Structure 1
Amino acid sequence: MSHLRVHKDRIEVHLTPAEKSLALRADDIVVQRDDIRSATIADDPWVWVRGIRRRGTEIPLVVAVGVWKYHGGSDFVIIKGKRQAVVLELNAGEFTRIILSTNHAAALIDRLKLTDDPEPPTD
């Protein structure tokens, strides 16, 4: 399963060798945090897949890994079975949306929240 690393300025999706092979992709995915518009937990990630597969592998309701093209851009999808997924809506970059199956969806959403606290009020 791919590893997601959340940094202060970016998010890195490190694909396993099998996922790279299934997605027909050589590189990992890096998204700047400023480019993330929203993050949603999807109990049924299959309903979030839109468009047609441009590059990658799909066995419906079993696995989908790769790039899906639709009229407004491209999405990167890593869906495995019926696991929950995190859907990242993006403003800019290579993809419009990333759909990533994970066993730790809630923890991932918490880590994506901004950690910069506003200044405390002064007395």
Structure 2
Amino acid sequence: MVTLLLDQTRLEVVLSVTERALSFHKGNVIVERSTITKVQLTDDAWTWLRGVPSPGTYVRGVVAMGSWKSAGGTDFALVRRRRASVVIDLEGHDQYERLILTTRHGLALVKALRLDVSDEASNVADLAAAAPKKKPRVRKAPAPLPAT
């Protein structure tokens, strides 16, 4: 599973040894927060893949890891089976146009990106759990209708 670290200036996708080998990527993927334009949650990350793996590993329906080149640009994918995923659109990043990541922490990432976080990188799931909870909105009961 992908580990996401977030601080005030950047999002870091921490890759395990296996993920590095299968994605042919030497280090972690680092994205400046200012380059993130949109974050979308999806149940089927396979529909978001575009182009061909170059370099990367692709086994249909099982795993897609690495860089994906297409006419629209280069994406980075870490997709496993049919699990919940997050799609992060980037603008102005020097290497990628989009990140497609299989993670259980997609909702936590969306919440954490809305927060002002510390200078030290923290796990996205921990940040979202520590966020202050909003009070539920109490709606007033409708006024009774006049008798006719």
Structure 1 counterpart of 2:9: 9
Structure 1 counterpart of 2:97: 96
Structure-2-length-normalised TM-score: 0.75
Structure 2: unaligned runs, 5 residues or longer: 118-148
Q: How many residues were matched structurally?
A: 116
By percentage of residues, which structure has more strand?
Answer: 1
Instruction: Give secondary structure in 2 for the equivalent of 1:103.
Output: coil
| Whole-angstrom distance in 1 between the partners of 2:30 and 2:82 | 25
Structure 1: unaligned runs, 5 residues or longer: 117-123
Structure 1 counterpart of 2:47: 47
Find the structure with the greater CA-based Rg.
Answer: 2
Structure-1-length-normalised TM-score: 0.90
In the TM superposition, structure 1's runs of 4+ consecutive aligned residues that sit over 6 Å from their partners are none
Q: Percent identity, aligned pairs only?
A: 36
Instruction: Give secondary structure in 2 for the equivalent of 1:108.
Output: helix
| Whole-angstrom distance in 2 between the partners of 1:84 and 1:14 | 18
Instruction: Give RMSD over aligned pairs.
Output: 1.2
| Whole-angstrom distance in 2 between the partners of 1:114 and 1:92 | 22
Structure 1 counterpart of 2:85: 85
Higher RCO by CA contacts (8 Å cutoff, separation 6 or greater): 2
| Whole-angstrom distance in 2 between the partners of 1:100 and 1:72 | 18
| Whole-angstrom distance in 2 between the partners of 1:43 and 1:97 | 17
Amino acid at match of 1:64: A
| Whole-angstrom distance in 2 between the partners of 1:4 and 1:111 | 11
